[in-house]
Structure 1
Amino acid sequence: MQQMKVREKSVDVALFQFILPFSFKAGTEKDIIPILLKDDYKHFQLKHEEDENRYYGQFCVSHQDMRSYFLPFTNKILFPSSEYEKGIQRYSKALNIHGVLMTDLIKIPFQILSIDINLCPYELGFLTIRTELMNSDDLTISNATEFAARFRVLEPKNKRDLQTEIECDGKIFKQVSHFVLDHLYQSVMKYFTLKDPNKAHFKPFPFFEDARMYVQSFISIKETSSYDLVDVYRGVGLCGLSNEGKPYVSANNLPYITDYLQKHSYHRWEPNTFFTMEEHSFICMTNENSEKVTQLISQVYGEFYYALLLNLFHKIVLLKIAHSFADLNIDRDEKEMERLIYAINSFTANYFFSEIASQSQGRDIYNHLRRIFNIELLYNDAKQTLYSLFKYQENANTKKDSLLLLILTLYSVIGQMFGMSVVIGDFAGKINWRHILNYNPLEYFALFVAMSGVIVSLILGFRNIYQWSTERQERKKWVEQTVLSSTKDKG
């Protein structure tokens, strides 16, 4: 393919947040939190205003702005005031460590500003790695996007990725996954389930693409420069360098690029600032002055990060529900069916809302992400799943009730026809066993009906008590998984 001509531009600021969804093992959320606190993670709360510039390098995030940005019921989910409340529990750790990403073409120095572990309901979590590229004269849009494209790949498959290494803390990591999982998150990795669906109640859906992290980017060029549409397209598509080391564009048709950006961009602040969203990437590119850049970075790290996180949470939970329904054997998995019904209802009641922000730009970007992620389509599928499960459960219960009613009716009719008092009197006071041995066939049949009726009644009674007890225990587990997951018992 003949490459489109690109005017290379120098970058002043290049920030990336790499987000990795994961599932944690069932019932281990109460064990993770003490380890996080011991490993210098801190529970994120808006009231901790001293943390406004702890995790973001030279920049800061206004907690007051975030508090007023989101609607009250959204704040309760995104920023729970304690570890005992439902919602997304964020634990952050400042690192400020330096490293170098090395490919077969270039070496790019970077700094890990901080890392997050977000523990969510439904045994779902998100790892977030905040990264800043070191400012230098040769830092260009191509180098910045090449860094993001290489760093997000956890399991290399092609030649370029296989030749990517990371040097940090005097160590060489042959794969990004070794650096991320075995170095940055080593202390808690034993609790995470990245691939094995049998270790979590809800089937994990860890990656949107083949073992790659989601990328939220912020790229600022000099105020005197201007963007081309190709630059924005390359940024959101993570088009870095070609095999020859030249600026790479994955499309060669300018009308296509224009149409693509028209559908995937939020145009409110163009042509100086572009917000563009894809299923694997969210980017803000700007050529504003330093004061405006600082304000935009605060929003990217703050409000827009949480809008993205919530949409990722919605999408993955809905995908997990769809996968669980696909794996369900409705003829045998009655408990799984009831759990899935509860999961869908709990998700709708506690976490699914169409509006989260009080400001128009916040609502617009949030809704734009929802369209990109097909949230409404996935939610409609979940509602259809719920309807199907309800109808099947209703039909199954109707059949059970009909069978039980038939049994009770037969006993009642037969008992009235034959008169149970014929044999019941023989069992009052001292039993005359010799008389019982001399029963005629009709009396034996009446005795059988009476005794079997008592046995059946006892079995049904004990069975209902057992079912009530087990269902109560199961519901408690469901509540922990879907509402109180990632919290520990108070006291």
Structure 2
Amino acid sequence: MPIQQNVEKLNIIRSHMSFLLPFGFDQLKRQETIDSLESNGYTYFHIDEDADHETEMYGYGIEVVGKELEQYFYPYIEHKLFPGSPDKKGFHRYTSVIKIDHIMQIRDERHEFQIRSIDVILGPFGIAFLALRVNMQDIPADLSDVLDFIQHFRAIEPNLKESKGAMIIIPETRQTFTIRDYLFGYLCPFMEKAVLHDKKLKGHFGSLPYFEDERMFVSSFLIAETGASISEDQLYRIGNLNGRRPDGVPFISATNPDYIRRSLSHSLHDRWAPHMYMIATEHGYSVVTNRPADELMNELSQFMGTHYYNLLLHYFYKIMLLRVSFEYSEIDWKKDEYYVRSLIQLISVFSSSYYFKEISTRSEGKELAEMFRKTFLIDPLFNEVSNTLQELYKSQENNQAGRLNMLLFVLTIFTVISGIYGMNLVIPDWEAPSGWKEYPSYTVFEWISLITAVTGIGLSAYLIISTFGKMYLRRRRRNKLDMLDQ
């Protein structure tokens, strides 16, 4: 529970924020979605983009160097993150430079902000991301106001009291929107039809019924006044987005210095302290610095480039691992034999094609990746998925063994009966055109012969049809999995 207390002030003179919203999309309509993006001004992102376009995309003269992106990731990761065309497998990023200024009203406060650019990233297995680059315009601002803005902007479905009450205002038209309507009704209305929804769940995250939150993940680069002191309390507030209470009072959600210190030991990367810190929590990834803004071009380039993709990849890992766990819990073991096989294929393709513990060639990239793995609980989730895979294999083997035993049992019966009849199940009456009319006079042994022959023919037909049917279903599942893995 938030506790009222004296909170240290920290002036932020510039902020760069990226809000990341995952959603499920229909892979069968993938080309339709791409056509819709292109018709609305979104261009396919290449790592060799020209510098002028990048400056517009990121602002403040920030450039993301393609060669640095290539050298930052291992080759087996690089060609998945930066595929050369939409036809290749991987993460396909479409970007549009927006540069529009709007206002967020929270209680009696108004905060001006700019949407710099928007990414729509179509990832593998029907998972996509909407990423918005936002700059607060009314700065310098107190850290409490910046964190309050972030906390309200990220709330797609404001179910918590501290997230309610925010409204987006369009100055030109005086229109007002909730956050969700602002995203899908104003900024990206064409994406609404691409978002899949679970029929049983309401709200945006019915699109991902296995996801545990209804707020966007935020990454932020906060530049404080040059030489300002950055305390542990402020770092804790940044990591937990402790801005202002519903009554507008700044707050921190912990008062025990030892607790704050222990929490930071798990979430803080202080390699460049006391001038720069990185914090990663389940709410967001933040960089805060007290260095002059004109000395931070390289750090901002990394934040917009290499760190952006490092975060994206691990966020994708978390979502996929949660998806597998969710789908495993939904299995009806009595009916879902083909579903089990599809889930085994999904886990296998994801593990072999996209899931890698080592993704970066640089020590900084390794450290950041390790921080994301801890934050998103990647290793425990992957261990759970590995156990799931073993259970699925065991279940499939048991089912196959049971079917094989039943088939052997049936075939044994037919073999024994056929052996008793000397492999001759033909009744002389059948050779005459009117032979079938004599069945009321059949003896017991002739009835056994008749039933055995008819059942054997039916069983053979069933085996042939089911074999070809399973081949067809396997091919369909394989094609569907190939389509998901794009």
Q: TM-score, normalised by structure 2?
A: 0.92
Q: CA deviation at 1:327?
A: 1.1
1:99-151: per-residue Cα shift (whole Å, max 9, x none)?
111111421111000111111122111111100111534x1212211110111
Residue 148 of structure 1 corresponds to 150
Distance in 1 separating the partners of 2:387 and 2:264? 33
Q: 2:3·2:254 contact (CA, 8 Å) conserved in 1?
A: no
Residue 55 of structure 1 corresponds to 57
User: Alignment RMSD, CA only?
Assistant: 2.5
The question of 1:18 aligning with 2:22 is answered no
Q: 1:457 to 1:203 in 2, by over 3 A?
A: farther
Q: 1:95·1:114 contact (CA, 8 Å) conserved in 2?
A: yes
1:391-424: per-residue Cα shift (whole Å, max 9, x none)?
1111111111111111111111210111233626
Q: CA deviation at 1:375?
A: 0.6
Distance in 2 separating the partners of 1:104 and 1:144? 15
Residue 453 of structure 2 corresponds to 450
Question: Which residue of 304, 307, 312 maps to 1:304?
Answer: 307
Q: 1:419·1:446 contact (CA, 8 Å) conserved in 2?
A: no
Q: CA deviation at 1:193?
A: 2.5
Distance in 2 separating the partners of 1:432 and 1:172? 87
Residue 164 of structure 1 corresponds to 166
Q: Given residue 328 of structure 1, which amino acid in structure 2 is its aligned partner? A: I
For the residue of structure 1 that corresponds to 2:55, the secondary structure is coil
The question of 1:27 aligning with 2:31 is answered no
Q: CA deviation at 1:159?
A: 5.5
Q: 1:205·1:319 contact (CA, 8 Å) conserved in 2?
A: no
Q: 2:218·2:283 contact (CA, 8 Å) conserved in 1?
A: yes
Q: CA deviation at 1:3?
A: 3.9
Q: 2:430·2:436 contact (CA, 8 Å) conserved in 1?
A: no
Q: 1:136 to 1:264 in 2, by over 3 A?
A: closer
Q: Given residue 81 of structure 1, which amino acid in structure 2 is its aligned partner? A: G
The question of 1:463 aligning with 2:466 is answered yes
Question: Which residue of 390, 396, 410 maps to 1:393?
Answer: 396
Q: 2:3·2:253 contact (CA, 8 Å) conserved in 1?
A: no
Q: CA deviation at 1:89?
A: 1.1
1:80-112: per-residue Cα shift (whole Å, max 9, x none)?
111011111111111000011111142111100
After TM superposition, the structure 1 = structure 2 runs for residues 33-432 of structure 1, keeping only pairs within 5 Å, are 33-50=34-51, 51-58=53-60, 59-134=62-137, 136-137=139-140, 139-157=141-159, 161-168=163-170, 169-193=172-196, 196=199, 204-205=208-209, 207-209=211-213, 211-421=214-424, 423=426
1:186-233: per-residue Cα shift (whole Å, max 9, x none)?
01211103554689xx98247542x21111111001223221122211
Q: 1:15·1:219 contact (CA, 8 Å) conserved in 2?
A: yes
For the residue of structure 2 that corresponds to 1:423, the secondary structure is coil
For the residue of structure 2 that corresponds to 1:129, the secondary structure is strand
1:421-479: per-residue Cα shift (whole Å, max 9, x none)?
36267767x76739976764424432432333223212211221122112211221122
Distance in 2 separating the partners of 1:332 and 1:194? 24
Q: 2:358·2:366 contact (CA, 8 Å) conserved in 1?
A: yes
Q: 1:160 to 1:442 in 2, by over 3 A?
A: closer
For the residue of structure 1 that corresponds to 2:129, the secondary structure is strand
Q: 1:78·1:88 contact (CA, 8 Å) conserved in 2?
A: yes
Q: 2:120·2:128 contact (CA, 8 Å) conserved in 1?
A: yes
Q: Given residue 164 of structure 1, which amino acid in structure 2 is its aligned partner? A: A
Q: CA deviation at 1:31?
A: 1.5
The question of 1:476 aligning with 2:486 is answered no
Q: 1:22·1:205 contact (CA, 8 Å) conserved in 2?
A: no
Q: Given residue 47 of structure 2, which amino acid in structure 1 is its aligned partner? A: L
For the residue of structure 2 that corresponds to 1:53, the secondary structure is helix
Q: 1:230 to 1:251 in 2, by over 3 A?
A: same
Q: TM-score, normalised by structure 1?
A: 0.91
For the residue of structure 2 that corresponds to 1:392, the secondary structure is helix
For the residue of structure 1 that corresponds to 2:102, the secondary structure is strand
1:365-386: per-residue Cα shift (whole Å, max 9, x none)?
1111101111111111111111
Q: Given residue 327 of structure 1, which amino acid in structure 2 is its aligned partner? A: E
Residue 6 of structure 2 corresponds to 5
Q: 2:27·2:483 contact (CA, 8 Å) conserved in 1?
A: no
Q: 2:241·2:283 contact (CA, 8 Å) conserved in 1?
A: no
For the residue of structure 2 that corresponds to 1:188, the secondary structure is helix
Q: CA deviation at 1:60?
A: 2.2
Q: 1:174 to 1:447 in 2, by over 3 A?
A: closer
Q: Given residue 11 of structure 2, which amino acid in structure 1 is its aligned partner? A: S
Q: 1:115·1:129 contact (CA, 8 Å) conserved in 2?
A: yes
Q: 1:413 to 1:158 in 2, by over 3 A?
A: closer
Q: 1:113 to 1:434 in 2, by over 3 A?
A: closer
Q: 1:344 to 1:90 in 2, by over 3 A?
A: same
Share of identical aligned residues, percent?
28
How many pairs were matched up? 479
1:144-193: per-residue Cα shift (whole Å, max 9, x none)?
11110111112233566443211125343241111112111101211103
Q: 1:8 to 1:472 in 2, by over 3 A?
A: same
Q: Given residue 63 of structure 2, which amino acid in structure 1 is its aligned partner? A: C
For the residue of structure 2 that corresponds to 1:367, the secondary structure is helix
Deviates more, 1:303-312 or 1:472-481: 472-481
Q: CA deviation at 1:292?
A: 3.5
Distance in 2 separating the partners of 1:174 and 1:84? 36
Q: 2:198·2:207 contact (CA, 8 Å) conserved in 1?
A: no
